[in-house]
């Protein structure tokens, strides 16, 4: 993953700038939101939990919006 955790906010706000595509899904996995808030790192208004082996970060903001960032496929899934 070529981004610092502090760059995740910029990536979510302007994914096109980094060459990422956006997918939108309606069904949010509630247990994933709770897991990230428990185990993730908090930066500004975001909780972030990354898995380097899978090349993926899960991000939750203050309004419980969930973002799954896949760095291998350059896709952000928004719930």
Q: Which tens digit of pLDDT belongs to each residue from 41-78?
A: 999 899 999 999 999 999 999 999 999 999 999 999 99
User: Can you spell out the DSSP letters for 37-51?
Assistant: HHHSEEETTEEEEEE
The Cα 77–Cα 5 span in angstroms is 18
Residues 6+ apart with CB under 8 A from 14: none
Number of domains comprising the chain: 1
Q: Which tens digit of pLDDT belongs to each residue from 12-40?
A: 999 999 999 999 999 888 899 999 999 99
> Domain of 15?
5-78
C-alpha pair distances (Å), 65 with each of 1, 2, 28, 33: 22, 23, 9, 8
Give the number of other Cβ atoms within 10 Å of residue 64's Cβ: 13
Q: What is the pTM of this model?
A: 0.89
């Amino acid at each position: 993953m070529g981004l610092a955790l502090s760059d995740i906010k910029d990536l979510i706000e302007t994914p096109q700038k980094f060459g990422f595509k956006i997918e939108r899904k309606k069904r949010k996995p509630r247990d994933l939101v709770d897991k990230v808030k428990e185990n993730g790192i908090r930066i500004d208004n975001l909780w972030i939990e990354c898995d380097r082996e899978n090349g993926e970060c899960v991000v939750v903001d203050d309004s419980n919006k969930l973002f799954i960032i896949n760095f291998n496929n350059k896709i952000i899934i928004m719930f």
